[in-house]
C-alpha cells in the first residue's frame, strides 16, 4: 500500500513540477506515472553504480557531483519517455533538485502516516 501511494504521490509531484517550472513538461498523469516509475527504477538500479564509479570525483567535489548524477537520471528518464520532456541539462539539474525536494516532503509525510513497525 505504501509503495503504491509513494508512486502516486511522486507522479503528482512531477505534474506539480511541470506546472511550477517551464523546463520540465509532462503530458498527462499517465506520463507522470511512467516517469515516476522510470526515475525510481533508475535511482534503484543505475544510480548506485554511477555513485561508486564516480566516487573519486564526488570526493573531490565534496559531494556536489551527486547533483549531476541526479540530473543525469532525470534527463535519461525524459529521453526514454514520450510524455515527459526536459529542455536541457540545466533544466534537468533544476528539475531534479525540485523533484528531490518534493520527494523529501513526500517521504516525511508518509513516515508519519506509516510509522516503522518494530519486529
pLDDT tens for each residue of the chain, 119 residues long: 889 999 999 999 999 999 999 999 999 999 999 999 999 999 999 999 999 999 999 999 999 999 999 999 999 999 999 999 999 999 999 999 999 999 999 999 999 988 888 87
Alpha-carbon distance values, 61 to 52, 90, 91, 92 (Å) = 14, 18, 21, 20
The confidence score (pLDDT) of residue 114 equals: 87
Distance CA 22, CA 91 (A): 9
For residue 50, tell me if it sits in a domain: yes
The confidence score (pLDDT) of residue 1 equals: 84
The confidence score (pLDDT) of residue 13 equals: 97
Helix (H) / strand (E) element for 95: namely helix 89-113
The confidence score (pLDDT) of residue 79 equals: 95
For residue 62, tell me if it sits in a domain: yes
Q: Are 27 and 84 in contact (CB under 8 A)?
A: yes
Domain range for residue 61?
2-113
Helix (H, G, I), strand (E, B) or coil at 83: coil
The confidence score (pLDDT) of residue 63 equals: 94
- State the total domains in the chain: 1
For residue 119, tell me if it sits in a domain: no
Residues 95, 106, 7: CA angle, nearest 5 degrees: 80
For residue 118, tell me if it sits in a domain: no
Amino acid at each position: 500500500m505504501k509503495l503504491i501511494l509513494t508512486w502516486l504521490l511522486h507522479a503528482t509531484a512531477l505534474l506539480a513540477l511541470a506546472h511550477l517550472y517551464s523546463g520540465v513538461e509532462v503530458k498527462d498523469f499517465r506520463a507522470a506515472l511512467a516517469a515516476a516509475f522510470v526515475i525510481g527504477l533508475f535511482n534503484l538500479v543505475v544510480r548506485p553504480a554511477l555513485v561508486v564509479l564516480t566516487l573519486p570525483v564526488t570526493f573531490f567535489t565534496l559531494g556536489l557531483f551527486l547533483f549531476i548524477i541526479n540530473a543525469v537520471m532525470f534527463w535519461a528518464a525524459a529521453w526514454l519517455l514520450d510524455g515527459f520532456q526536459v529542455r536541457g541539462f540545466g533544466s534537468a539539474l533544476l528539475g531534479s533538485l525540485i523533484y528531490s525536494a518534493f520527494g523529501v516532503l513526500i517521504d516525511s509525510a508518509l513516515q508519519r502516516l506509516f510509522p516503522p513497525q518494530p519486529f
